[in-house]
Amino acid sequence: MMKPSVLILGAHSDIGKAIAHAFAALGHPIQLAARNAGKLKADQSDIALRYNVAVSLHEFDALDLASHAAFVDGLSEMPEVAICVVGLMGEQSQNEQDLEAAIRVMRSNYEGPAHILAELANRFEVRGSGTLVGVSSVAGERGRATNYVYGSAKAGFSAFLSGLRNRLAQKGVHVVTVLPGFVVTKMTEGMDLPAPLTTTPDNVAKAVVDAVERRVNIIYIKRTWRYIMMIIRAIPEGIFKTRKI
Protein backbone atom coordinates (compact mmCIF):
# COMPACT_ATOMS: atom_id res chain seq x y z
CA MET A 1 0.00 0.00 0.00
CA MET A 2 1.39 3.39 -1.01
CA LYS A 3 2.19 5.75 1.83
CA PRO A 4 0.65 9.27 1.82
CA SER A 5 2.75 12.20 0.68
CA VAL A 6 4.55 14.61 3.00
CA LEU A 7 5.03 18.30 2.21
CA ILE A 8 8.08 20.08 3.64
CA LEU A 9 7.75 23.88 3.69
CA GLY A 10 11.18 25.49 4.03
CA ALA A 11 13.00 22.53 2.52
CA HIS A 12 16.38 24.29 2.20
CA SER A 13 16.82 24.14 5.97
CA ASP A 14 18.91 21.44 7.61
CA ILE A 15 15.92 20.37 9.71
CA GLY A 16 13.66 20.30 6.66
CA LYS A 17 16.05 18.05 4.75
CA ALA A 18 16.45 15.71 7.72
CA ILE A 19 12.67 15.42 8.06
CA ALA A 20 12.35 14.69 4.35
CA HIS A 21 14.87 11.85 4.65
CA ALA A 22 13.15 10.43 7.73
CA PHE A 23 9.73 10.22 6.07
CA ALA A 24 11.14 9.04 2.74
CA ALA A 25 12.93 6.20 4.55
CA LEU A 26 9.47 4.98 5.58
CA GLY A 27 8.25 5.05 1.98
CA HIS A 28 6.42 8.39 1.90
CA PRO A 29 6.50 10.43 -1.32
CA ILE A 30 8.04 13.82 -0.58
CA GLN A 31 7.16 17.34 -1.76
CA LEU A 32 10.00 19.81 -1.18
CA ALA A 33 8.86 23.45 -1.16
CA ALA A 34 11.13 26.47 -0.87
CA ARG A 35 12.31 29.64 -2.54
CA ASN A 36 14.63 28.84 -5.46
CA ALA A 37 13.43 25.26 -5.32
CA GLY A 38 15.61 24.37 -8.29
CA LYS A 39 18.62 24.43 -5.97
CA LEU A 40 17.17 21.34 -4.28
CA LYS A 41 17.57 19.15 -7.38
CA ALA A 42 20.55 17.30 -5.89
CA ASP A 43 18.55 16.60 -2.73
CA GLN A 44 15.58 15.55 -4.85
CA SER A 45 17.69 12.98 -6.74
CA ASP A 46 19.41 11.73 -3.60
CA ILE A 47 16.17 11.13 -1.69
CA ALA A 48 14.42 9.56 -4.70
CA LEU A 49 17.28 7.15 -5.43
CA ARG A 50 18.11 6.35 -1.82
CA TYR A 51 14.57 5.49 -0.75
CA ASN A 52 12.85 4.70 -4.06
CA VAL A 53 10.08 7.27 -3.53
CA ALA A 54 8.68 10.06 -5.67
CA VAL A 55 10.13 13.49 -4.83
CA SER A 56 8.81 16.72 -6.33
CA LEU A 57 10.04 20.32 -6.11
CA HIS A 58 7.72 23.30 -5.57
CA GLU A 59 8.49 27.00 -5.62
CA PHE A 60 7.30 28.58 -2.38
CA ASP A 61 7.85 31.96 -0.72
CA ALA A 62 6.56 32.09 2.85
CA LEU A 63 6.50 35.91 2.84
CA ASP A 64 4.51 36.20 -0.40
CA LEU A 65 1.15 35.68 1.27
CA ALA A 66 -0.80 36.43 -1.90
CA SER A 67 0.76 33.39 -3.58
CA HIS A 68 -0.11 30.83 -0.90
CA ALA A 69 -3.57 29.83 -2.09
CA ALA A 70 -2.32 29.28 -5.64
CA PHE A 71 0.66 27.35 -4.30
CA VAL A 72 -1.61 24.93 -2.41
CA ASP A 73 -4.04 24.60 -5.29
CA GLY A 74 -1.13 23.96 -7.66
CA LEU A 75 0.22 20.95 -5.79
CA SER A 76 -0.05 17.81 -7.92
CA GLU A 77 -1.27 15.94 -4.84
CA MET A 78 -2.71 17.28 -1.61
CA PRO A 79 -0.37 16.00 1.11
CA GLU A 80 -1.54 14.05 4.12
CA VAL A 81 1.19 15.61 6.26
CA ALA A 82 2.43 19.21 5.93
CA ILE A 83 5.45 20.35 7.96
CA CYS A 84 6.50 23.99 8.20
CA VAL A 85 10.14 24.57 9.15
CA VAL A 86 10.31 28.12 7.80
CA GLY A 87 12.18 30.45 10.12
CA LEU A 88 14.73 33.23 10.45
CA MET A 89 16.62 34.01 13.66
CA GLY A 90 18.43 37.20 12.72
CA GLU A 91 20.64 39.10 15.17
CA GLN A 92 18.90 40.56 18.22
CA SER A 93 21.22 43.59 18.33
CA GLN A 94 20.47 44.34 14.67
CA ASN A 95 16.75 43.77 15.14
CA GLU A 96 16.67 46.33 17.96
CA GLN A 97 18.03 49.08 15.71
CA ASP A 98 16.88 48.02 12.24
CA LEU A 99 13.12 47.72 12.48
CA GLU A 100 12.81 46.45 8.91
CA ALA A 101 15.09 43.55 9.85
CA ALA A 102 12.95 42.95 12.94
CA ILE A 103 9.78 42.88 10.87
CA ARG A 104 11.33 40.34 8.49
CA VAL A 105 12.17 38.09 11.44
CA MET A 106 8.63 38.43 12.79
CA ARG A 107 7.04 37.73 9.42
CA SER A 108 9.35 34.78 8.71
CA ASN A 109 8.62 33.09 12.02
CA TYR A 110 4.94 33.89 12.46
CA GLU A 111 3.00 35.57 9.69
CA GLY A 112 4.25 33.47 6.77
CA PRO A 113 4.19 30.08 8.52
CA ALA A 114 0.78 30.74 10.10
CA HIS A 115 -0.71 31.88 6.80
CA ILE A 116 0.39 28.86 4.78
CA LEU A 117 -0.72 26.44 7.48
CA ALA A 118 -4.09 28.22 7.60
CA GLU A 119 -4.49 27.65 3.86
CA LEU A 120 -3.66 23.97 4.27
CA ALA A 121 -5.83 23.66 7.38
CA ASN A 122 -8.91 24.73 5.47
CA ARG A 123 -8.27 22.10 2.77
CA PHE A 124 -7.53 19.40 5.34
CA GLU A 125 -10.68 20.26 7.27
CA VAL A 126 -12.86 19.87 4.18
CA ARG A 127 -11.16 16.54 3.44
CA GLY A 128 -11.49 15.45 7.07
CA SER A 129 -7.94 14.17 7.53
CA GLY A 130 -4.30 15.16 7.72
CA THR A 131 -1.58 16.35 10.06
CA LEU A 132 -0.08 19.83 10.25
CA VAL A 133 3.30 20.28 11.93
CA GLY A 134 4.80 23.63 12.92
CA VAL A 135 8.38 23.96 14.11
CA SER A 136 8.30 26.69 16.73
CA SER A 137 10.81 27.33 19.54
CA VAL A 138 11.27 27.32 23.30
CA ALA A 139 12.29 30.96 22.77
CA GLY A 140 8.59 31.75 22.47
CA GLU A 141 7.76 30.65 26.01
CA ARG A 142 8.95 33.88 27.64
CA GLY A 143 10.35 37.09 26.20
CA ARG A 144 14.03 37.48 27.03
CA ALA A 145 16.28 40.43 26.25
CA THR A 146 18.71 38.28 24.29
CA ASN A 147 16.22 37.19 21.61
CA TYR A 148 12.81 38.74 22.17
CA VAL A 149 12.19 39.71 18.53
CA TYR A 150 12.62 36.12 17.37
CA GLY A 151 10.98 34.80 20.54
CA SER A 152 7.91 37.00 20.21
CA ALA A 153 7.26 35.69 16.70
CA LYS A 154 7.66 32.10 17.86
CA ALA A 155 5.30 32.81 20.77
CA GLY A 156 2.69 33.95 18.30
CA PHE A 157 3.25 30.89 16.12
CA SER A 158 2.95 28.52 19.09
CA ALA A 159 -0.31 30.19 20.12
CA PHE A 160 -1.59 29.91 16.56
CA LEU A 161 -0.78 26.20 16.44
CA SER A 162 -2.50 25.68 19.80
CA GLY A 163 -5.65 27.40 18.59
CA LEU A 164 -5.57 25.52 15.29
CA ARG A 165 -5.24 22.23 17.16
CA ASN A 166 -8.23 23.13 19.33
CA ARG A 167 -10.30 24.13 16.31
CA LEU A 168 -9.54 21.00 14.27
CA ALA A 169 -9.47 18.38 17.02
CA GLN A 170 -12.93 17.09 16.13
CA LYS A 171 -12.44 17.48 12.37
CA GLY A 172 -10.00 14.64 11.75
CA VAL A 173 -7.01 16.98 11.46
CA HIS A 174 -4.16 16.83 13.95
CA VAL A 175 -1.73 19.68 14.72
CA VAL A 176 1.75 19.18 16.19
CA THR A 177 3.89 21.89 17.81
CA VAL A 178 7.63 21.18 17.77
CA LEU A 179 9.91 22.94 20.29
CA PRO A 180 13.48 21.94 19.42
CA GLY A 181 15.67 24.13 21.63
CA PHE A 182 19.24 24.49 20.33
CA VAL A 183 19.91 22.60 17.07
CA VAL A 184 23.21 22.35 15.23
CA THR A 185 22.33 23.92 11.86
CA LYS A 186 23.51 26.63 9.50
CA MET A 187 21.26 29.05 11.41
CA THR A 188 23.19 28.47 14.66
CA GLU A 189 26.63 28.24 13.08
CA GLY A 190 29.19 30.13 15.15
CA MET A 191 27.05 30.13 18.29
CA ASP A 192 28.45 28.66 21.51
CA LEU A 193 25.76 26.06 22.16
CA PRO A 194 25.62 24.11 25.45
CA ALA A 195 26.05 20.45 24.50
CA PRO A 196 23.55 19.01 27.06
CA LEU A 197 20.79 21.23 25.64
CA THR A 198 21.68 20.87 21.96
CA THR A 199 20.34 18.36 19.46
CA THR A 200 20.75 17.55 15.78
CA PRO A 201 18.45 17.83 12.74
CA ASP A 202 18.28 14.01 12.60
CA ASN A 203 17.00 13.84 16.17
CA VAL A 204 14.40 16.49 15.40
CA ALA A 205 13.33 14.52 12.34
CA LYS A 206 12.93 11.28 14.31
CA ALA A 207 10.84 13.07 16.93
CA VAL A 208 8.61 14.63 14.27
CA VAL A 209 7.97 11.28 12.59
CA ASP A 210 7.11 9.76 15.96
CA ALA A 211 4.81 12.67 16.86
CA VAL A 212 2.93 12.37 13.57
CA GLU A 213 2.53 8.61 13.91
CA ARG A 214 1.43 8.76 17.57
CA ARG A 215 -0.55 12.01 17.19
CA VAL A 216 1.40 13.81 19.90
CA ASN A 217 0.38 17.43 20.47
CA ILE A 218 3.54 19.19 21.68
CA ILE A 219 7.09 17.84 21.61
CA TYR A 220 10.28 19.10 23.23
CA ILE A 221 13.15 17.40 21.42
CA LYS A 222 15.26 17.54 24.59
CA ARG A 223 13.00 16.84 27.57
CA THR A 224 15.22 19.00 29.76
CA TRP A 225 13.85 22.08 27.97
CA ARG A 226 10.36 21.40 29.30
CA TYR A 227 11.60 21.82 32.88
CA ILE A 228 13.97 24.69 32.10
CA MET A 229 11.19 26.71 30.53
CA MET A 230 8.81 25.79 33.34
CA ILE A 231 11.28 27.37 35.77
CA ILE A 232 11.87 30.42 33.58
CA ARG A 233 8.13 31.03 33.22
CA ALA A 234 7.73 30.82 37.00
CA ILE A 235 10.27 33.57 37.82
CA PRO A 236 8.39 36.66 39.09
CA GLU A 237 8.54 39.54 36.62
CA GLY A 238 10.15 41.85 39.19
CA ILE A 239 13.09 39.49 39.47
CA PHE A 240 13.09 38.36 35.85
CA LYS A 241 13.52 41.85 34.43
CA THR A 242 16.76 42.37 36.38
CA ARG A 243 18.38 39.17 35.06
CA LYS A 244 19.94 38.32 31.73
CA ILE A 245 18.82 34.80 30.91
* CATH number of the domain to which 178 belongs: 3.40.50.720
Q: What is the rounded distance in angstroms from the CA atom of residue 212 to the CA atom of residue 209?
A: 5
Share of the chain above pLDDT 70, in %: 97
Q: What does pLDDT average to over the chain? A: 94
Q: Which domain holds residue 46?
A: 6-240
- Residue 245 forms part of a structural domain: no
Nearest of 70, 41, 42 to residue 57 by alpha carbon: 41
Q: What is the rounded distance in angstroms from the CA atom of residue 219 to the CA atom of residue 199?
A: 13
Catalytically active residues, by annotation: 150
- Residue 1 forms part of a structural domain: no
DSSP H helices in the chain:
14-24, 41-51, 68-73, 92-97, 99-106, 112-127, 148-168, 201-214, 223-234, 237-240
pLDDT at 244 over 90: no
- Residue 111 forms part of a structural domain: yes
- Residue 57 forms part of a structural domain: yes
Q: What is the rounded distance in angstroms from the CA atom of residue 206 to the CA atom of residue 55?
A: 19
Mean of the pLDDT values across residues 12-27?
97
**Which pLDDT belongs to residue 236?**
94
pLDDT at 105 over 80: yes
Number of domains in the chain: 1
Q: What is the rounded distance in angstroms from the CA atom of residue 57 to the CA atom of residue 30?
A: 9
**Which pLDDT belongs to residue 191?**
67
- Asked if residues 82 and 10 have their Cβ atoms less than 8 Å apart, the reply is no
Mean of the pLDDT values across residues 204-216?
97
- Asked if residues 79 and 28 have their Cβ atoms less than 8 Å apart, the reply is no
- 41-100, pLDDT tens digit by residue? 999 999 999 999 999 999 999 999 999 999 999 998 999 999 999 999 888 989 899 999
- 163-187, pLDDT tens digit by residue? 999 999 999 999 999 999 888 877 6
**Which pLDDT belongs to residue 189?**
66
Q: Structure pTM?
A: 0.93
**Which pLDDT belongs to residue 245?**
77
